[in-house]
Structures are given as structure tokens and as C-alpha cells.
Structure 1
Amino acid sequence: MATMASTLPYTFPAAIEQDQNTRPPMPLITTIALAATMLLAVYLERLFGWRQALLFIVGTFAGVVLYHASFGFTTSWRVALSDRRSAGLRAQMVMLVLASTAFVILLSLPQPVLGLTLQAYVAPLSLSVVVGAFLFGIGMQLAGGCASGTLYTAGSGNTRMVVTLAAFILGALISTRHALFWATVPSFGPVSLLNSLGPSGAVLATVVVCGGIAWGAARLERARHGSVAPITSGPSGGISLLRGPWPLLWGAVGLVIVNVATLVLAGRPWGITSALALWGAKLAQAVGIDVSSWPYWAEQTRAAALAIPVLADVTSVMDIGIMLGALTAAGIGGKFAPVWRVPFRSLLAAVLGGILLGYGARIAFGCNIGAYFGGVASTSLHGWLWFVSALAGNALGIQLRPWFGLIVERTPCAPTECGGASRNSSSSC
């Protein structure tokens, strides 16, 4: 059986291959991705209006941002927990502060804004959030991605993540069958800092919490490694706006733009997983399963979503946009290279992890984007409950990864940290 920890020097995710900036663009992949994007945008505008087309473009931009900045939540949390590398986590805290500030300003404006009444995403402090986020966290580490990560890596040609996406859809569908049970578990109800503390108080509270997490994570990184990795530069200082990679800070700002644009154009924060549940339900109906009789799908708005075309659903077109945006970025960067042979244990982890991701996200009122990013940006306390619960799930998931032949990044210890062991030793903290 594999050991419970693999010792591996941490590498900036976008810099795993040293020659990435010297690879020529891939004209065929880029042309296909751009053509599909433009044609679908025109189609959406003609059938469903300019908002739907713009939201699709926003999703495409999200895919480019996620890919070029390698802005993943799974790897960031894993290396923070296993190796005290905090750059990704600190970038997320910057993202949350910027987004919550923008959200508070927009939500405090006289409504409607651009013809829509903007709605914050405030969900109950429920046991279902704790359980769902914990399961989602385990799934993150087994699958190797979160909701946004699954979409952008699958879109950029990662064949293993295509399997994860299929399992994600299955897990989300299964969770809708159990929705009535999870609606009855203990709950303290929703808590909005904007309503409780006012605009200034809500922003200040978010700044304090995010600042405290970033400060603590940086201190742990410095204590472990002697320095703190910046979030303002790319790998080895190399940055390319068109081809990538981008600094994590650019990724954080880019995702704030995505969420703010979604709030203004759709009237609510960015989300991902409701569309995956919808796709699963439509596929189930196609093979003769009557999901419309399930309580989850009998609810008025969900029943309406089930009855209309997928492309009429905002979250669906944004998810498709993420995949096309990532494919475009991979083509421009010359990095579209599907690997068709995936080890069985890794494939098994992708399936199990994907099911946990889908099931956990739906019962927790969302994923890392909807519940965590959208919840915290909306000043909802359930976003922070989701974060803590998912982080605990990630900690367990990290321990399970070696069972499936998956690495856990840990830098060899300094002599003073491992009882005099050499930095070249195989021991790890």
C-alpha cells in the first residue's frame, strides 16, 4: 500500500512544465474554441437576449482567468494544509475582500440596477452545510478539483477531469433525490452581516477575518520555509497576458470581475453546481426516469428550468463558457494535450471524488463558488461555515490521496525542523 505521505517539492501549478512559454500556439484548437464561442454567443443573443449572451461571455472570461492563473482551490488548500504554502489561500482572501466590498456597494444601491433587483446569496447555518461542505472537501482532494476547477481543467483537455465531471453530475442528481431529508435537518437560519452590521460593519468584519487568515497563513509559511511566496508574480517572474501564466493576484481580481458582472447581469451571484444537477436531471429524463415527481424538481423555479432548453439556463451557459474559455486559453498557450491512459486507482478516485463533489455541493447550498465565494461576498455567515467544513474535509481527503496513488506535496524539511535531518532527506514534516 502507498505510504500516507509523498515528499515532493511544491511547484507553482502553472509552472509544472518549464517550457510552457516557448510552446507555439495551437491554431486548430484555438480556432475551434473561438469559433464555437462566437457562434454560441450569437445564437444565445438571438434566442434569449443580450443578457444571456453576455453572461456566456462572462463565463468564457472566467475559464480564461482560471486557466491562465491556475486559480485552483483544491491545490491551494492542499499545499496550505500539507506544506504550509499559502499563496493560493492568501489570493482567495484578497478575492473575498474585493468581492464583498463590491457586493455591499451594489446591494446598497437603490434597486433595481440595470433593470434587475440584485439579490445576495444568504443561506441557513444548517447541518446540511456542514455535512455537504465536508463531503465536498473530501471530494476535492480525491477528484483533484473543485467545481470551477473541474470545469476549466476538463475544458482544457484533462481527460481524467472529464470523468470527474460526469461523476459530479451523477452526485448532484442523487442529492436532489434526497433534498427533502436535508431540508429537515437542524438549522439556525440565515445570517447576513449586511443586515446585522450595516454596510460598513459587514465590510470591516470581512476584512478582519480575511486579513487574519492571510496573516496567519503567511506566518506559518515563513516559519516553515523562511519566506513567503508572492501572489503578484508568475512562476520564475514570467507573465504573459495572452498566453499565460498569470499571477494569482490577477486571477483573484479576474474572478471578482466575473462575480460582480454576474450579480449585475443575472441579479444574483455566480454559481456553478445547480446547472450540473439540471444536466443530470435532463439526462435522467431522457432515459425514462421521471425526476419531475421528486420534491426538489417539483418546486416551481426548478420545474420551469427542467421544462426549458439547457441554453436558457444562466448557470448552464456560464458553465459551458468556462469550458470553452479554458479550451481557448489552452490552445493559445499551446498546452492542449489530453492524456488518454489514466491509472485505475486515479480513475476510481475521480469517480468517487466527483460523486462526493456533486452530492455535497447540492446539500450545502453550493460549492466553492456559489456557497464559499458567493456566500462570503454576500456577507452570509453560511459562506464561512462552508469554508471551515470544507477545509476539514480537505484535511481528511489529503490523508486518503496516497491510497489512490495521488501525491501530497511536501517540501523536505530544513535541518532544524526534522531533528537534524538533511534537506535532501526523504523525511517530511
Structure 2
Amino acid sequence: MLTVLGTAAILLFTYFAYQASGFEFVLVFWVGIFIGFTLFHARFGFAAVYRQIVETGNTEMLRAHMFMLGIAATLFAPILMFDIGAFGNTPEGALSPVSIGLVIGAFMFGFGMEMGSGLAPASLYQAKGGRTAMLCTLLGFLTGAVLGAYHFGFWNKTLPSGPEISLATDTGFGYLGAWGMQIAIFVLVVAVSYVYKKRKRPPLLPPLPSAVGWKKIIFGSWPLWVGALVLAMLNAAAFILQEEPWKLTAAFTLWGSKLLMNMGVDVSQWEYWIAEERLGALLQPTLTDSVSVLNFGVILGTFLTLTLGGMIRFSKIPVHLALLALAGGLLMGYGATISFGANVGAYFSGIASFSLHAWIWAIMAIIGVYSAYGVGKRLHLVSKQKARNK
């Protein structure tokens, strides 16, 4: 039944996307569907990579991330160099200023990510209660994103803020030089991760459900490198189709702000909408915004894939788990908005776009993860959570 509903929703949104912008938005929407499909089948986590390193020392996902970023940067470079855009679009990379909001927000995001996806719920990655906890995290993220938009001007305008800095066009390296520098960093991280793996000898990632033959594509799990490759290619496709690469937080901020606007709150005066040049998206119908269309596709693609795998399950969870997931989501949403994005827009798309802010964001987010993990150990939350999982 849920699979039928998911399929019907996808067909309906495909029709709405065509009505809004013809085949352009139809293609954007279906790129989003394939992103959702890939995220599930490769079990490709953006939050999990940090948690695995601090909790178990496993660096397998980290190496997959470096591969994904290397492929994405390789694809983004010619797109930016030669202005490769479909439907008359001119691509603009995910560049953002270096500001106090960037530093503080990325730290908050990392702290909330470990809090909402690590200390609180190993259950997010289990069938029992996992989807319920995830809903709490998403609700917190949506609320935090709107609060972050409200305070955006303070963090990024009132407090010191610098310009956008492209490692390709603002440093003299050029795209080829910036690409080579980033590839060297990715290779170095991979090499260090292998040395760390040899010394630490961490446990392997748990085996994932699989299937045989063609069923593996639809019902089974994919190798991490396949997920990394496909995600990089899909992000590049989104970049060509909609002028900008994949961004997730911007969609949540828009949806939450539109909800407030429909309740009579004049959010159009918030500095966020002016600084991010998203005022048009706020005032126009949601389906005329390509960022929203893409992320509707991601959500529906993930939902349909989960239903095919029989993994849409909800159950009652302890109050403290729900509160931790909600609080973690709140920190993530707030931090992501004031720091110009999260794991997708700031980290994935930002690094692929050769933006300096993306590297600063990644460093501060990792510090946030380690800080939250340290707090959890001191409060004995980590050991308690591990005990529950045995």
C-alpha cells in the first residue's frame, strides 16, 4: 500500500513539475529521486562518517567520501570553467562568505549531528523505533532552520564577515591548480586513513542486506564506492540542470519560513532572504523553486525505496530518546542555516565548488562531533548507549 502511495506521489509531482517549468523541473525532480534511491541502497551516510571515526575508528566511509569529493570536483571544474548549463542556465558554484556564523554554525551542526545521530539514537539505524526518532530529528531540523534564518543577520552581518573565496578564481591557482590541490588533500586523507586503520584495527562495518542478480540493484545494497560515484554524478547533473549544485538546508528553511508566512509572520524582512538572494523563492509558489523540486524528489525517492525494502516502521520510543533527537535536529538546523549549509550544501557541494568556506565548515563540524562525543563520554551517555545495543 505504501509503495503504491509513493509511486502515485512521484507521478503526481512529476506532473506538477512539468506544469511549473516543463521538462527542466521534471529532470531536476527525477535526479532527486535517483539521489534518494542511491543514498538508501549504498547506505551512504553523511553523518555516519564522523560518528564511525570517533566511536569505532572505522575509516571506510571516510575513504568513500574522499572518492565522492574527488569525482565531484573533477566534474564540477569543467562545468564552472566553461559555463556548462542546460536550458540556458549559467551555473554558479556553492560559494559562501567566511564569517563568524560559518564557524559557530558548523560547530553547532557537528555537535547536534553527533547528539541527534550518535548519542541519542543508535536506533536511527535500527528498524525498531528508528523512523520515529528520525521524525523527531527532522522536526527539530525544520524548526532550527527557521530560527537560524531569523538570526542569520546577526551572525553574518552584525558580526565580522569576509567575502566569498574561490580556491580557483580568487587565489591564482585557477581551476586546474585548485583541482590538483584538492585531489592531493583527498589522497593524503585516504593514505592517513589506511595507516590509522592498520594501527587501530577497527571492527568492519556491519554486513548489509543483499540480493542476487538484477534484484541487487533494486532491493540489495551497493558497495560504498558505487554510491560515492553515483552521488557525485547526480550532483553534477543537478548542477547543470538548475544552475546550482544540490543543497538541502535551503529547502527546509524555505518550507518552514513559508509556513510561518502563511500564519501571518512577515519573514521577508529577515536578512537571510536578502543575503542569500532567495526572496523570489519565498514569494513564489514552492514548485517554481528548483531547490525544493530537487529535494522533494530526494524525499520521495527515499520513501519509495524504503517501502520496497519493507523498512517504513514506526514504534514508541523513550521520551529521553525523542528529546535528544529533537534537540540534535534543532542544533543541526540552526547551525546549518547560519553557516550556509550542512553536509550537502556546505560540505559536498561546497568542496566540489572549490569554496574556502566549505573546508572551514568541514573542520569546525568535525570539531563539533568530537566535542559532543567527549561530552557524552563524560556523562556516560556513550557507554550506556553501547550497552543497550548489545
Please tell me the TM-score bracket, short chain as reference: 0.7 to 0.9
Q: Does 2:98 match 1:125?
A: yes
Aligned residue type for 1:372: Y
Q: Tell me, what secondary structure is at the counterpart of 2:55?
A: helix
Alpha-carbon distance in structure 1 between the residues aligned to 2:276 and 2:333: 22
How far apart, in 2, do the equivalents of 1:300 and 1:106 lie? 22
1:384 to 359, 383, 386: 359
CA distance in 2, matches of 1:313, 1:408: 44
Distance 1:181 1:107, change over 3 A: same
Give the corresponding residue for 1:422: none
The answer to whether residue 76 in structure 2 is matched with residue 103 in structure 1 is yes
| Contact 2:79–2:85 under 8 Å retained in 1 | no
Amino acid at match of 2:305: A
1:306 aligns with 2:266: no
SS at match of 2:217: coil
Q: 1:115 aligns with which of 75, 88, 92?
A: 88
Q: Distance in 1 between matches of 2:276 and 2:59?
A: 43
Cα deviations by residue, 1:335-386 (Å, 9 ceiling, x for unpaired): 22222x1111111111111111111111111111001111110011111111
Task: Note if contact 2:94-2:244 (Cα within 8 Å) is conserved in structure 1.
Answer: yes
Q: Secondary structure of the equivalent of 2:219?
A: coil
CA contact (8 A) 2:75 2:233 kept: no
Deviation at 1:290, TM superposition (A): 2.1
Distance 1:283 1:39 in 2: 22
Q: Mark the CA change 1:292 to 1:188 in structure 2 (over 3 Å): closer, same or farther.
A: closer
* Residue aligning to 1:46: 19
CA distance in 1, matches of 2:96, 2:202: 40
Residues 165 and 357 of structure 2 are in contact (CA less than 8 Å); yes or no, is this contact kept in structure 1?
yes
1:410 is displaced (CA, Å) by: 7.9
Task: Give the root-mean-square deviation of aligned CA atoms.
Answer: 2.9
- Structure 1 residues 324 and 180: CA distance shift in structure 2, 3 A: same
Q: CA deviation at 1:153?
A: 11
Give the drift of 1:82. Answer: 2.2
The Cα of 1:276 is off from its aligned counterpart by 0.7
Distance 1:162 1:406, change over 3 A: farther
| CA-to-aligned-CA distance 1:274-324 (integer Å, 9 cap, x gap) | 111111111112222222232333569433222111222212222221121
Unaligned runs of 5+ in 1: 1-27, 146-150, 412-425
Larger radius of gyration: 1
User: Could you say which residue in structure 2 is the equivalent of 1:278?
Assistant: 254
- In the TM superposition, what is the alpha-carbon distance from 1:93 to its structure 2 partner? 0.4
Do structure 1's residue 136 and structure 2's residue 109 form an aligned pair? yes
SS of alignment partner, residue 38 of structure 1: helix
User: What amino acid is the match of 2:168?
Assistant: L
Letter in 2 for 1:165: L
The structure-2 alpha-carbon separation of the partners of 1:404 and 1:68, relative to structure 1 and needing over 3 Å to count, comes to: farther
Moved more, 90-99 or 390-399: 390-399
Q: What is the rounded CA distance, in whole Å, between the counterparts of 2:239 and 2:138 in structure 1?
A: 25
Equivalent in 198, 203, 221 of residue 197 of structure 2? 221
Name whichever structure is richer in helix by fraction.
Answer: 2
Contact 2:78 2:84 in 1 (8 A): no
3-state secondary structure, aligned to 1:246: coil
Q: Distance in 2 between matches of 1:137 and 1:377?
A: 20
> C-alpha separation between the residues in 2 aligned to 1:120 and 1:141?
28
CA distance in 2, matches of 1:292, 1:116: 26
Verify the 8 A CA contact 2:24 2:87 in the aligned structure 1: no
User: C-alpha separation between the residues in 2 aligned to 1:234 and 1:48?
Assistant: 43
Going from structure 1 to structure 2, the CA distance change for 1:29 and 1:51 (only over 3 Å counts) comes to: same
| AA matched with 1:194 | A
Is structure 2 residue 179 aligned with structure 1 residue 199? no
Aligned residue type for 1:387: A
**Relative to 1, partners in 2 of residues 1:274 and 1:187: Cα closer, same or farther, differing over 3 Å?**
same
Match of 2:29 in 1: 56
Matched, 1:268 2:244: yes
Aligned residue in 2 for 1:416? none
- Structural mapping, 1:201-350, within 5 Å: 201-225=177-201, 235=208, 240-297=216-273, 301-339=277-315, 341-350=316-325
Native 8 Å contact 2:84 2:240 kept in 1: no
Counterpart code for 1:180: G
1:183 partnered with 2:127:
no
Report the AA paired with residue 59 of structure 1.
G
Q: What are structure 2's unaligned runs of at least 5 residues?
A: 119-123
**TM superposition score normalised by structure 1:** 0.80
